[in-house]
């Protein structure tokens, strides 16, 4: 692996960084321009991550953070856990970025100008909004987001170091979501949700979910990182799917912001969508730098750290931005993969340590990987498997011996299923097709969300 930057790369990255620094300096006027600054910070984060991934390759190999690429003719070792580099650069970026969204407020506070005399009625107390002209609550929620992300990175690195057992892994994002939930509880505490029109006659317009709302938030935070972590195993797939989801979330934010300013007052959804953009732009920056090195043929692996980190960014943006339902629409392939994997995850069917497709050294293509059944499966499982294998669109490929007992069956991931359906493929081809599918599902999801939302809810955010 190359551990230095080429002359052209040095030149390009330096130019990019210098331009970004220039842009940031130019945002210090009037009310500041946090959105522009955020883009520039993301550029710098890209350049920094790109360089660090190169420079740290050897260091990672020496520290035993390395893995063997199983889907290549030569199974060479390459650095593993490079997602940690991404994540640390990302954290540094959003920490340094903290003052920018508050530039206006800081200037107002320092100059002593502004709306000192305005008195705010008690009706705003519970909503946690507009309490004082300095948006302390926005700051607190921003900080809680960073805390949760930092927690998931810390625990993710632990996972990559110690190879934590699967059933323990599941709870890493749960622990990491604690800071966010606690701050939500302390500082905001709104647990009301809008009721779909069809149910209004039974439940009223709003229903207070109480602690169930916290359970829901925790469930989102557990699902997103883990679902990315199980749709993994071929070069570039983890980062690519994250880039697609991140890109679509940004599109959704842009759409929401584009139509928001037409309302006379700042729309209540403006702030959460800005917040979402500030968290997502640098994420895209660091992820692209990682993608560059992780796409087929991979020069580095991302590690579980990256999957947790990426999933947590999405979970936080969705939860604190109050668009978790929209978020889930972008996770359709992950949801399908999770449901499809469930028989293995819950050990109805044996689950090997890795379920990635099998590399056929002769053809150079990936084929569905299989479970070898030492003993024939129990009756109900065998029945289920037969049923799945004999559907018009088979969801499983099984191999039986002469007595009709299952001896082999494919692993239950959509990567394998794709290969069952469309035959053996080269690794990058498989990744590309799956990512296109992800993008298509996501675009459809957003379309549904914006076109059909009015059918179930009285008003869209956009109104």
Q: Which is nearer to a copy of itself, 119 or 391 (CB)?
A: 119
The b/e string for 426-443 (b: 16+ C-beta within 10 A; e otherwise) is ebeebbbebbebbbebbe
Q: Which is nearer to a copy of itself, 104 or 462 (CB)?
A: 104
From candidates 5, 104, 134, 322, binder to a copy of itself by CB under 8 A: 134
From candidates 182, 207, 381, 453, binder to a copy of itself by CB under 8 A: 182
From candidates 28, 55, 185, 447, binder to a copy of itself by CB under 8 A: 185
Q: Is 1 near a copy of itself (CB under 8 A)?
A: no
Q: Is 28 left (phi over 0), alpha (psi -120 to 50) or beta?
A: beta
From candidates 22, 189, 196, 423, binder to a copy of itself by CB under 8 A: 189
Judged by CB under 8 A, the stretch of 22-30, 113-121, 246-254, 417-425 that binds a copy of itself is 113-121
Q: Is 184 near a copy of itself (CB under 8 A)?
A: no
Q: Is 143 near a copy of itself (CB under 8 A)?
A: yes
Q: Which is nearer to a copy of itself, 140 or 407 (CB)?
A: 140
Question: In the bound complex, what is the minimum distance in angstroms from residue 54's beta carbon to a copy of itself?
Answer: 15
Q: Is 116 near a copy of itself (CB under 8 A)?
A: yes
Tokens of 404: 């009709």
Q: Is 211 near a copy of itself (CB under 8 A)?
A: no
Strand bridging mode 358-360 / 66-68: unpaired
Q: Is 177 near a copy of itself (CB under 8 A)?
A: no
Q: Which is nearer to a copy of itself, 146 or 415 (CB)?
A: 146
From candidates 8, 119, 391, 393, binder to a copy of itself by CB under 8 A: 119
Residue whose entry in the numeric block shows the structure tokens 């992950």: 334
Q: Is 178 near a copy of itself (CB under 8 A)?
A: yes
Mask of contacts with a copy of itself, 64-93, x by CB under 8 A? xx----------------------x--xx-
From candidates 21, 139, 259, 407, binder to a copy of itself by CB under 8 A: 139
Q: Which is nearer to a copy of itself, 181 or 349 (CB)?
A: 181
Interacting residues with a copy of itself between 43 and 62 (CB under 8 A)? 59, 62
Q: Which is nearer to a copy of itself, 161 or 348 (CB)?
A: 161
Judged by CB under 8 A, the stretch of 133-141, 194-202, 235-243, 259-267 that binds a copy of itself is 133-141
Judged by CB under 8 A, the stretch of 121-129, 286-294, 346-354, 396-404 that binds a copy of itself is 121-129
Tokens of 134: 């300095």
What is the C-alpha to C-alpha distance for residues 281 and 23, in angstroms, rounded to an integer? 15
Question: In the bound complex, what is the minimum distance in angstroms from residue 412's beta carbon to a copy of itself?
Answer: 30
Q: Could you list the residues that contact a copy of itself (CB under 8 A)? A: 59, 62-65, 88, 91-92, 95-96, 98-99, 102, 106, 109-110, 112, 116-117, 119, 122, 125-126, 131-132, 134, 136-137, 139-140, 143-144, 146-147, 150-151, 153-155, 157-158, 161-162, 175, 178-179, 182-183, 185-187, 189
């Amino acid at each position: 692996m190359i551990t230095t930057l080429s002359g052209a790369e040095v030149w390009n990255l330096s130019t990019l960084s210098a331009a970004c620094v220039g842009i940031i300096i130019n945002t210090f006027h009037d009310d500041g321009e946090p959105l522009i600054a955020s883009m520039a910070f993301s550029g710098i984060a890209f350049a920094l991550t790109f360089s660090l991934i190169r420079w740290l390759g050897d260091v990672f190999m020496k520290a035993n953070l390395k893995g063997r690429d199983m889907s290549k003719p030569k199974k060479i070792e390459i650095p593993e856990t490079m997602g940690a580099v991404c994540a640390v650069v990302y954290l540094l970026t959003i920490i340094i970025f903290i003052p920018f969204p508050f530039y206006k407020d800081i200037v107002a506070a320092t100059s002593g100008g502004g709306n000192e005399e305005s008195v705010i009625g008690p009706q705003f107390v519970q909503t946690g909004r507009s309490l004082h002209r300095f948006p302390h609550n926005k700051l607190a929620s921003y900080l809680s987001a960073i805390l949760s992300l930092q927690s998931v990175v810390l625990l993710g690195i632990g996972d990559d170091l110690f190879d934590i057992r699967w059933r323990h892994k599941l709870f890493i994002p749960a622990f990491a979501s604690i800071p966010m939930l606690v701050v939500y509880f302390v500082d905001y505490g709104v647990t009301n949700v809008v009721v779909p029109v069809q149910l209004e006659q039974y439940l009223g317009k709003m229903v207070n979910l109480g602690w169930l709302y916290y359970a829901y938030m925790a469930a989102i935070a557990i699902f997103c990182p883990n679902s990315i972590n199980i749709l993994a195993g071929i070069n570039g797939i983890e980062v690519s799917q994250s880039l697609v989801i991140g890109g679509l979330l940004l599109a959704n934010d842009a759409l929401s912001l584009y139509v928001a300013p037409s309302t006379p007052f700042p729309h209540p959804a403006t702030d959460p969508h800005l917040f979402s953009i500030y968290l997502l732009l640098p994420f895209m920056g660091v992820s692209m730098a990682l993608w560059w090195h992780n796409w087929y043929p991979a020069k580095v692996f991302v590690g579980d750290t990256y999957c947790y980190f990426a999933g947590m960014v999405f979970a936080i943006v969705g939860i604190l931005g109050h668009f978790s339902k929209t978020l889930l629409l972008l996770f359709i392939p992950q949801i399908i993969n999770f449901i499809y994997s469930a028989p293995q995850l819950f050990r109805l069917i044996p689950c090997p340590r890795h379920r990635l497709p099998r590399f056929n050294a002769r053809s150079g293509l990936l084929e569905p990987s299989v479970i070898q059944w030492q003993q024939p499966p129990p009756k109900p499982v065998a029945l289920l498997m037969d049923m799945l294998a004999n559907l018009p669109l088979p969801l499983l490929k099984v191999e039986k011996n002469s007595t009709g007992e299952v001896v082999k069956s494919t692993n239950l991931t959509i990567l394998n299923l794709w290969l069952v359906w469309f035959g053996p493929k080269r690794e990058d081809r498989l990744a590309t097709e799956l990512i296109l599918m992800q993008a298509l599902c996501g675009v459809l999801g957003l379309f549904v969300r914006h076109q059909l939302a009015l059918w179930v809810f009285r008003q869209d955010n956009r109104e």
